[in-house]
């Protein structure tokens, strides 16, 4: 009897293990088979793995990539191909955030019941339309000339990304033989707007000012005195000029380091960190539900007092991602409410389309409406009162420039970020031009030209 019972338990355990394994297998098949099957090293895909995939189109139905007679065919305009290279991607899946990589299963029409070997009369590939304007991207690539860097523009009311380019770039139909060894092509397989981060420099003063408005009722009355240099224990904070006593508004226009260093120290580590994290620092940002930006970093946990000051000027160890910075400017334009960026306009894939509709207008409150409006006023004043107003003509631009020192005797990276304060053209933007020199001298005119084109 005892023996019989032991055998029953053993049998029961075996059946249980078998069932668990079966459930696990079916679950994995349903959830992950699409990813396994479409890994680049799956030899069933062959060399020309996108030969039967669907179309990729821009917002105006311009075809960026399609398959004809089992061959992948790209847009016939070379400059346009270069402009959208990081968005479309190549057939070796070198660019992680490209559509041909991240949505390849959808383009294929992969189905876990039938797999890849679907008879042609059952096969249904999917087309994917993006929110970007490829002609605007082409214009942007031309304006970047030979500079390296990235830029992005989006509609801060709808979240639609209109333009995103990264340089250097290449022509998918004419990949240089020395692409892996030539320094000119460093970073060519990275979409720097989505996957890059840089030292923020003075554009971070926007975040320090946000923290001041969110924490102090009298933030616009706070004054600090700049004498060009300020000693803090054995360290110091330096400024380009001797600005004397200033308020936040004047200090933003003059980009005074001493003011924003003092302001960050007055706020302290806790308040600065809380604001930065409410603005999505230290986490990835989602673009639709299939792309993640590189995370921007704000960490003053081990900072000295002077380093805390420098963090408020964007020159400590903090970094910022271009698309993320664009959403911060978008939130200031949009009463403090950030609309998360999206790049998918439409698709014939039903599950993807359903997802899109569910998360349409993914929003997050970055700051109060009062803070946003005060920052808007200050960023408009910053443009109106400085040389960068020359680059924007009739557009009502609110912006901030920044210079990120890179050392090694190289010219600094230059930022310009902001938005058009106009209900009919609700666009926010970020541009970074690597090794181009001080402030907005190069980056502001480039983005100015592109914005003028965008509102045409």
C-beta closer to Zn ion: residue 118 or 240? 240
C-beta closer to Zn ion: residue 145 or 238? 238
Q: How far apart are CA 127 and CA 24, in angstroms?
A: 32
- C-beta of 432: minimal distance to Zn ion in Å? 24
Number of chain positions touching Zn ion (CB under 5 A): 5
C-beta closer to Zn ion: residue 258 or 340? 258
C-beta closer to Zn ion: residue 37 or 232? 232
C-beta closer to Zn ion: residue 10 or 229? 229
Binding of Zn ion at residue 205 (CB under 5 A)? no
- C-beta of 269: minimal distance to Zn ion in Å? 23
Upstream peptide bond of 107 is cis (omega within 30 degrees of 0): no
Q: How far apart are CA 251 and CA 102, in angstroms?
A: 43
Q: Encoding tokens for residue 421? A: 């304060």
C-beta closer to Zn ion: residue 248 or 323? 248
- C-beta of 397: minimal distance to Zn ion in Å? 24
Q: How far apart are CA 394 and CA 382, in angstroms?
A: 16
Residues linked to residue 402 through DSSP beta bridges, in sequence order: 415
Instruction: Give the x/- contact pattern for Zn ion in 223-242, rule: CB under 5 A.
Output: ---x------------x---
C-beta closer to Zn ion: residue 313 or 326? 313
Q: How far apart are CA 74 and CA 76, in angstroms?
A: 6
Determine the interface stretch with Zn ion among 44-52, 64-72, 218-226, 282-290 (rule: CB under 5 A): 218-226
Instruction: Give the x/- contact pattern for Zn ion in 132-151, rule: CB under 5 A.
Output: --------------------
C-beta closer to Zn ion: residue 171 or 227? 227
Cβ proximity of 413 and 324 under 8 Å = no
C-beta closer to Zn ion: residue 110 or 260? 260
Instruction: Give the x/- contact pattern for Zn ion in 363-392, rule: CB under 5 A.
Output: ------------------------------
- C-beta of 263: minimal distance to Zn ion in Å? 12
C-beta closer to Zn ion: residue 259 or 392? 259
Cβ proximity of 236 and 229 under 8 Å = yes
- C-beta of 292: minimal distance to Zn ion in Å? 37
- C-beta of 258: minimal distance to Zn ion in Å? 5
Residues 6+ apart with CB under 8 A from 208: 260, 263, 264, 267, 272, 312, 313
- C-beta of 215: minimal distance to Zn ion in Å? 22
Q: How far apart are CA 256 and CA 241, in angstroms?
A: 8
- C-beta of 95: minimal distance to Zn ion in Å? 42
Q: How far apart are CA 242 and CA 227, in angstroms?
A: 5
Chain residues 234-293 in contact with Zn ion, contact rule CB under 5 A = 239, 243, 256, 258
C-beta closer to Zn ion: residue 65 or 258? 258
Q: How far apart are CA 15 and CA 12, in angstroms?
A: 5
- C-beta of 253: minimal distance to Zn ion in Å? 11
Q: Encoding tokens for residue 182? A: 């030539």
The bridge status of strand 128-130 relative to strand 56-57 is: parallel
Chain residues 394-453 in contact with Zn ion, contact rule CB under 5 A = none
- C-beta of 379: minimal distance to Zn ion in Å? 18
- C-beta of 443: minimal distance to Zn ion in Å? 22
Q: Encoding tokens for residue 227? A: 């004498």
Half-sphere exposure at residue 202, Cβ-oriented, CA atoms within 13 angstroms: 27
Q: Which residues bind Zn ion (CB under 5 A)?
A: 226, 239, 243, 256, 258
């Amino acid at each position: 009897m005892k023996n019989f019972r032991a055998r029953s338990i053993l049998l029961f355990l075996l059946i249980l293990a078998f069932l668990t394994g079966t459930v696990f297998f079916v679950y994995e098949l349903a959830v992950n088979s699409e990813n396994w099957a479409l890994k680049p090293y799956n030899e069933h895909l062959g060399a020309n793995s996108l030969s039967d995939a669907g179309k990729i189109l821009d917002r105006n139905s311009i075809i960026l990539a399609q398959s004809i007679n089992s061959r992948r065919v790209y847009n016939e305009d070379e400059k346009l191909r270069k402009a959208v290279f990081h968005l479309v991607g190549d057939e070796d899946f070198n660019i992680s955030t490209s559509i041909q990589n991240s949505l390849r299963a959808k383009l294929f029409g992969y189905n876990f019941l039938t797999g890849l070997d679907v008879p042609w009369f059952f096969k249904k590939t999917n087309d994917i339309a993006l929110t970007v304007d490829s002609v605007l991207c082409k214009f942007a690539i031309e304006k970047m000339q030979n500079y390296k860097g990235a830029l992005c523009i989006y509609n801060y009311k709808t979240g639609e990304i209109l333009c995103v380019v990264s340089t250097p770039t290449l022509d998918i139909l004419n990949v240089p033989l020395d692409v892996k060894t030539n320094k000119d092509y460093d970073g060519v397989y990275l979409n720097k707007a989505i996957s890059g981060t840089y030292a923020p420099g003075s554009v971070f003063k926007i975040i320090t000012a946000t923290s001041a408005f969110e924490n102090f009722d009298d933030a616009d009355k706070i004054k600090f005195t700049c004498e060009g240099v300020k000693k803090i224990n054995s360290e110091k904070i330096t400024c380009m000029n001797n600005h004397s006593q200033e308020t936040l508004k004047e200090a933003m226009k003059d980009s005074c380091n001493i003011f924003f260093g003092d302001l960050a120290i007055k706020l302290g580590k806790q308040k600065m960190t809380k604001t930065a994290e409410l603005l999505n620092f230290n986490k990835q940002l989602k673009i639709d539900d299939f792309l993640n930006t590189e995370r921007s970093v704000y960490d003053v946990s081990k900072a000295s007092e002077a380093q805390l000051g420098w963090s408020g000027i964007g020159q400590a160890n903090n970094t910022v991602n271009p698309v993320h910075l664009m959403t911060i400017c978008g939130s200031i334009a949009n009463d403090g409410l950030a609309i998360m960026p999206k790049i998918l306009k439409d698709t014939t894939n039903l599950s993807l389309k359903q997802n899109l509709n569910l998360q349409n207008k993914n929003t997050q409150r970055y700051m109060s409406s009062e803070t946003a409006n005060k920052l808007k006023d200050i960023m408009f004043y910053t443009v109106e009162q400085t040389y960068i107003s020359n680059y924007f003509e009739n557009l009502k631009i609110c912006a901030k420039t920044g210079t990120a020192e890179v050392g090694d005797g190289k010219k600094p990276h230059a930022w310009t970020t902001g938005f058009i304060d106009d209900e009919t053209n609700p666009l926010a933007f970020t541009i970074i031009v690597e090794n181009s020199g001080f402030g907005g001298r190069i980056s502001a005119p480039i983005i100015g030209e592109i914005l003028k084109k965008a509102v045409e």
